[in-house]
Amino acid sequence: MRNPLLLLYFPLVLSFSLTSSVRLTLREGSSLSVDKPDDILTSEDGAFSAGFYPVGENAYCFAIWFSKPSCSIHNCAVVWMANRDRPINGRSSKLSLRKKGNLVLIDAGRTVVWATRTESPSGSSRKLLQLLDTGNLVLRDKQHIISWQSFDSPTNTLLPLQKLTRNTPVVSSRSKNDFSSGYYKLYFDNDNLLRLLFDGPKITSVYWPDPWLNSWQAGRTTYNDSRVAMLDPYGNFTSSDDFIFLTSDYGAKIQRRLMVDHDGNVRVYSQSEGEEWMVSWQAISEPCAIHGICGPNSMCTYHPKDGRSCICAPGHARESLSDWTQGCKPKFSSFCDSKVETEFIKLPHANFYGYGKDLYRNFTLEECKKLCLGMCNCLGIQYNDSVCFPKLKLLNGRHSPSVTGDIYFRVPKSSLPSYKIPKIEYAALQCPGKEVLLPRTYVKTNRSWAIKILLVFVGATAGMEATLVLIICCLLYRNRPEKDGAHIDGYHMGPTGFRRFTYDELKKATRNFSKEIGRGSGGIVFKAVLLDCRVAAVKQLHEANQGENEFLAEMSTLGNLNHMNLIDMWGYCAEGKHRLLIYEFMEHGSLAENLSSLTELDWSKRFEIAVGSARGLAYLHEECLEWVLHCDVKPQNILLDSMYQPKVADFGLSKILKREGPKDSSFSRIRGTRGYMAPEWVYNMPITSKVDVYSYGIVLLELVTGRSPRGGLANTEGGDENESKRFTPWGKERRRTGVPMETWIKEIVDPRLIGECDNRKIEVLVAVAVRCVDENRDARPTMSQVVEMLLHYGDEDDTVQI
């Protein structure tokens, strides 16, 4: 996976090996220029170099890196950066040692982005800049008096002999490829202890040494207030709080560096001549003990094979698909706002650190639950051996066999059965053969697939770093952990989670495919009852002539989508020619069915359906997976749950049903349903997410008028074809002729609803719909703009612009 990436990103793999003209010092009045690749300062022994290091497209930082053995541009071990948070342009930028003795970094010949405050008042001071053999860049005069040194301002690395002091914390970089300041910090605290802190956008939390230990339990002392720590060249680290360690290769004098890594761990890396960098010490052995990886309402899990991952608490959905530090958000409203009945779901071996209210000893579980139910802001309890902690926030979650104690999540009782309990990994290993996990290896081994995705991305986006981040996040988060059942106070939750089913299993579950509940885009849908008693909808695809690997790749993408307004996919089956998808079953059927019935769908429900489906589509389009277009948005594909909350169904199907045509043009044939299709399909224009926006606009008009674009009442299939022509541009004509809105709204509104409707809501629905069905795709809003417009319709008194 890495090779194709790097090749694309760094078409020129420049080598930083020593050039013939080695420059050892920089004198007053001279400068190093980003335009000249040879403008590099080198230490006398050649071990370190300082110069402009590329950190992105046309973005450079002035940096120091290990240059022995020589490294190519993307794998040098960078140890320091002057301007990590303000990269400079790749043209006309330079580092100058001015006559007055100050060093300045100038971006594009204009702005000073970084400077040393070393001007001497008396004019010329005869300073020079030199990179010492220790990796320290110093500004000194003839008498070797140092007025500035890079060792005094570490970034994410501490070199041997470089002191970590009270004023100089070491801060991780954001990620492997993003060198800007990250969230993890190694620093001396007010009590003189050396600590690790996660200092994120939402929470701040110390996680090393273990926060529940006091200083002597952790083997530290607080009395020495000199607050200084250092690694010596032999691998002996000593800190003034008595924290001491020796690296595993202690003794040899080889290259070393101590780094606060972007994953929040502190490691010492060593490199002997001609070898790779090796980890010779690390602070934390249990990856989930690091805070902040998984944001609020999520838990960290670790599996030796798959590494670290995060899972949402039951009843929660990811805040951002690309960034787990954002955590998860509840799918239900706050218990303080709504007086819903609540219940608890138990998750054994789990823990959320901190933010408990108080600690109550000698409580039975029942008493503990009662205590929590009595507080509207209590989100759950941690219960361990008669100790009860009600939790007001779910932060720093961890789920691991080594954790003692259980978590009881508080959730609304009404939707209890639909919540998933995340499974603890080792449980899966105890019953092999029962569940077939989604094969993970193909992602890694089959490069052709990865490259294909890559090309799609590169073609679609111009911003290269954005692309890189997208790809990485998509690949990293493909595999969400399996989920498992657990007892919930009497309820038994069967094994849930995304998985592969066998055909036989589905045959049984659907009773030989006997109960058909629908037909549509590419397949027939059957009702099924799974072994664990969950009711499911099984879609048998009849046109999926995709190869198995390709199908699996799609599945693992779709299985990862998790949003309250997208239908939950439970699994799939790929056996021989059979391709089946297993979804949750929606009791209220589709919006189409319900629009055609005469009652129930009142205005507030219709409005909620509009907002909810827009949210679902926005998530599809604008989260990590821009390429999951729906391509068949219509009322038949918007399903309603027991609370009439909409869930978009059949997303991603357009890619699976790759019907014909050359392999790479996946949209070789018109997709969708007549009446809902954007003009791009007809005029053979590029297909973007705006085709879904168009179809959504038509659905909105249908919600308002109760009439389908195919004529007659909604859902009467096969109506007049030319009806659709009349349906769409009609809103626009009205708009041009300037008929007052109130008048024409009466004309168009679903006659079944006259009298009960809220004009403002209708106005905003119509206004948004008309913008969505614009012939010009660039004039259509994005789905997230649609959500915004719908939600803020009531703000202030401004009239809706249409």
Active-site residue list: 632
Q: Does 722 bind ligand NAG (CB under 6 A)?
A: yes
Please identify, using beta-carbon distances, which residue of 549 and 688 lies nearer to ligand NAG: 549
Handedness of CA 223, 228, 231, 233 (dihedral sign): negative
**Among 143, 512, 684, 776, interactor with ligand NAG by CB under 6 A:** 512
Q: What's the burial of 535, exposed, middle or buried (CB within 10 Å: 0-12/13-18/19+)? A: middle
Q: Does 705 bind ligand NAG (CB under 6 A)?
A: no
Stretch that binds ligand NAG, among 272-280, 327-335, 530-538, 719-727 (CB under 6 A): 719-727
Alpha helices in 100-198 (DSSP H): none
Q: Which of 743, 748, 740, 752 is nearest to 765 (CA)?
A: 748
C-alpha distances (whole Å) from 306 to each of 196, 309, 345 are 25, 8, 26
CB of 14 to ligand NAG, least distance (A): 32
Q: Does 504 bind ligand NAG (CB under 6 A)?
A: no
Q: Does 756 bind ligand NAG (CB under 6 A)?
A: no
Please identify, using beta-carbon distances, which residue of 155 and 594 lies nearer to ligand NAG: 594
**Among 334, 445, 665, 716, interactor with ligand NAG by CB under 6 A:** 445
Reading the block at residue 287, the tokens are: 């990856």
Handedness of CA 601, 603, 605, 609 (dihedral sign): positive
**Among 245, 302, 332, 442, interactor with ligand NAG by CB under 6 A:** 442
**Among 45, 85, 367, 720, interactor with ligand NAG by CB under 6 A:** 720
Q: Does 451 bind ligand NAG (CB under 6 A)?
A: no
Handedness of CA 512, 517, 518, 522 (dihedral sign): negative
Q: Does 366 bind ligand NAG (CB under 6 A)?
A: no
Residues 282-321 that bind ligand NAG (CB under 6 A): none
Q: Does 448 bind ligand NAG (CB under 6 A)?
A: yes
Q: Does 511 bind ligand NAG (CB under 6 A)?
A: yes
Q: Is 539 annotated as a binding residue?
A: yes
Q: Does 70 bind ligand NAG (CB under 6 A)?
A: no
Q: Does 222 bind ligand NAG (CB under 6 A)?
A: no
**Among 446, 545, 688, 785, interactor with ligand NAG by CB under 6 A:** 446
**Among 238, 282, 415, 785, interactor with ligand NAG by CB under 6 A:** 238
- Return d(Cα 565, Cα 568) in angstroms, integer: 9
Please identify, using beta-carbon distances, which residue of 243 and 498 lies nearer to ligand NAG: 243
Stretch that binds ligand NAG, among 23-31, 305-313, 615-623, 715-723 (CB under 6 A): 715-723
- 340 in Cβ contact with 415 (< 8 Å): no
Residues 246-265 that bind ligand NAG (CB under 6 A): 246
Stretch that binds ligand NAG, among 50-58, 300-308, 589-597, 693-701 (CB under 6 A): 589-597
- Return d(Cα 278, Cα 8) in angstroms, integer: 27
Handedness of CA 563, 567, 572, 577 (dihedral sign): negative
**Among 30, 72, 177, 236, interactor with ligand NAG by CB under 6 A:** 236
- Return d(Cα 228, Cα 305) in angstroms, integer: 38
Q: What are phi and psi of 574, to 5 degrees?
A: -135, 100
CB of 289 to ligand NAG, least distance (A): 12
Please identify, using beta-carbon distances, which residue of 179 and 237 lies nearer to ligand NAG: 237
C-alpha distances (whole Å) from 485 to each of 182, 328, 585 are 37, 21, 19
- 116 in Cβ contact with 148 (< 8 Å): yes
Q: Does 593 bind ligand NAG (CB under 6 A)?
A: yes
Residue whose tokens read 């800190």: 239
Stretch that binds ligand NAG, among 13-21, 440-448, 736-744, 779-787 (CB under 6 A): 440-448
Q: What are phi and psi of 183, to 5 degrees?
A: -105, -5
Handedness of CA 145, 150, 153, 158 (dihedral sign): negative
- Reduce the DSSP state of residue 618 to 3 states and report it: helix
CB of 123 to ligand NAG, least distance (A): 40
CB of 511 to ligand NAG, least distance (A): 4
Q: What are phi and psi of 355, to 5 degrees?
A: 55, 30
Please identify, using beta-carbon distances, which residue of 9 and 442 lies nearer to ligand NAG: 442
Stretch that binds ligand NAG, among 233-241, 289-297, 333-341, 477-485 (CB under 6 A): 233-241
- Return d(Cα 389, Cα 371) in angstroms, integer: 10
- 81 in Cβ contact with 61 (< 8 Å): yes
- Reduce the DSSP state of residue 259 to 3 states and report it: strand
CB of 707 to ligand NAG, least distance (A): 14
**Among 93, 351, 546, 637, interactor with ligand NAG by CB under 6 A:** 351
**Among 273, 276, 600, 795, interactor with ligand NAG by CB under 6 A:** 600
Q: Which of 348, 358, 355 is nearest to 385 (CA)?
A: 348
Please identify, using beta-carbon distances, which residue of 275 and 504 lies nearer to ligand NAG: 504
| Amino acid letter for position 430 | Q
Distance of CA 266 to the CA centre of its chain: 24
C-alpha distances (whole Å) from 537 to each of 309, 504, 551 are 29, 16, 19
- For 42, what's the count of Cα atoms within 13 Å in the CB-facing half-sphere? 18
Q: Does 588 bind ligand NAG (CB under 6 A)?
A: yes
The binding track of 390-409 with respect to ligand NAG, each residue x by CB under 6 A or -, is: --------------xx----
Please identify, using beta-carbon distances, which residue of 263 and 593 lies nearer to ligand NAG: 593
User: Starting from the edge strand earliest in sequence, which strands make up the sheet with 157-158, in order?
Assistant: 157-158, 255-260, 266-271, 278-282
- For 386, what's the count of Cα atoms within 13 Å in the CB-facing half-sphere? 3
Reading the block at residue 53, the tokens are: 């290091």
Reading the block at residue 426, the tokens are: 């080792």
Q: Does 226 bind ligand NAG (CB under 6 A)?
A: yes
Element (H, E) at 503: helix 503-509
Reading the block at residue 223, the tokens are: 């009395």
Residues 542-571 that bind ligand NAG (CB under 6 A): 549
Q: Does 759 bind ligand NAG (CB under 6 A)?
A: no
Stretch that binds ligand NAG, among 75-83, 91-99, 411-419, 720-728 (CB under 6 A): 720-728
Q: Does 384 bind ligand NAG (CB under 6 A)?
A: yes
Residues near ligand NAG (CB under 6 A) = 224, 226, 228, 236, 238, 240, 246, 351, 362, 384-385, 404-405, 442, 445-446, 448, 511-512, 549, 588-589, 593-594, 597, 599-601, 720-722
Annotated binding site for ATP: 539
Annotated binding site: 539
